[in-house]
Structures are given as C-alpha cells and as structure tokens.
Amino acid sequence: NAGVTQTPKFRVLKTGQSMTLLCAQDMNHEYMYWYRQDPGMGLRLIHYSVGEGTTAKGEVPDGYNVSRLKKQNFLLGLESAAPSQTSVYFCASSTDRNYNSPLHFGNGTRLTVT
C-alpha cells in the first residue's frame, strides 16, 4: 500500500543549483499534482498533469518545470534554485478532476535553498 511516494524527503541546495523531485504513485491515477506549502499560505498548486505526456500550469508555476513521461511518475524540476523556493513540496494524485475527488498526497519533500 505505497500510495504516493516522494523522493527525496529532504534536500538542501545552493542558489542557482538545479534539482528534480520524483513522485511515484501505484494507484493507477490519471491525474497528478505538485503543490508547495508555505507558512500562513496553505498549499498552492504549481503544476498538474491530466495524463501521461501532458502537463499544465497551476497557480504558482514560475521557476518550475514538470514532466510526466510515465503514468505513474510526475517529476518536478528546478533549473536554477532561488531562496524563495524554500518550501515543503507535496505531490498528489486523484482518479479524476471532478469536484468530488479527493487528492491523495505523498509525505512531502522539505527543500531549503541557501
């Protein structure tokens, strides 16, 4: 019962470095999402995917790129990290995008950019 798995759990970057966060789900969900969580702001959607090979921008997409080459995986990339990208990142998945579909979350990745 792995559900949604995120790697790594923690990461420290220097300004300007790049990195990729990996999200994998074993629930055969079509829809996957990347959120960031900042104090006092809840979770905000970065990018999402409605299926293999497709991606779309969310509320705060600047500075991030994503790819969904396989249905079960959704990658989040930072090409040139900035201190403003220090945050906790959550991946999530859902069976569909209907308004009654809950999201299933991974355990998060804490990223610090110095």
Partner 1 sequence: AQKITQTQPGMFVQEKEAVTLDCTYDTSDPSYGLFWYKQPSSGEMIFLIYQGSYDQQNATEGRYSLNFQKARKSANLVISASQLGDSAMYFCAMREGGGNNDMRFGAGTRLTVKP
| Least distance in angstroms from the C-beta of 93 to partner 1 | 12
* Total of chain residues touching partner 1, rule CB under 8 A: 26
- Under rule CB under 8 A, residue 32 binds partner 1: no
CB of 105 to partner 1, least distance (A): 4
Residue 69 identity: L
d(CA 50, CA 110): 25
Smaller CB distance to partner 1: residue 1 or 14? Answer: 1
By CB under 8 A, residue 97 contacts partner 1: yes
How many Å apart are CA 25 and CA 13, to the nearest integer? 26
Q: Should residue 62 be labelled a site residue for partner 1 when binding is judged by CB under 8 A?
A: no
59 binds partner 1 (CB under 8 A): yes
Q: Does 108 bind partner 1 (CB under 8 A)?
A: yes
Position among 18, 44, 80, 114 found at the interface with partner 1 (CB under 8 A): 44
Handedness of CA 94, 52, 22, 80 (dihedral sign): negative
- Choose which of 8, 41, 53, 70 interacts with partner 1 (CB under 8 A): 41
- Please name which of 111, 69, 64 lies closest in space to residue 87, comparing C-alpha atoms: 111
CB neighbour burial string for 78-91, b if at least 16 within 10 angstroms, e if fewer: beebeeebbbebbb
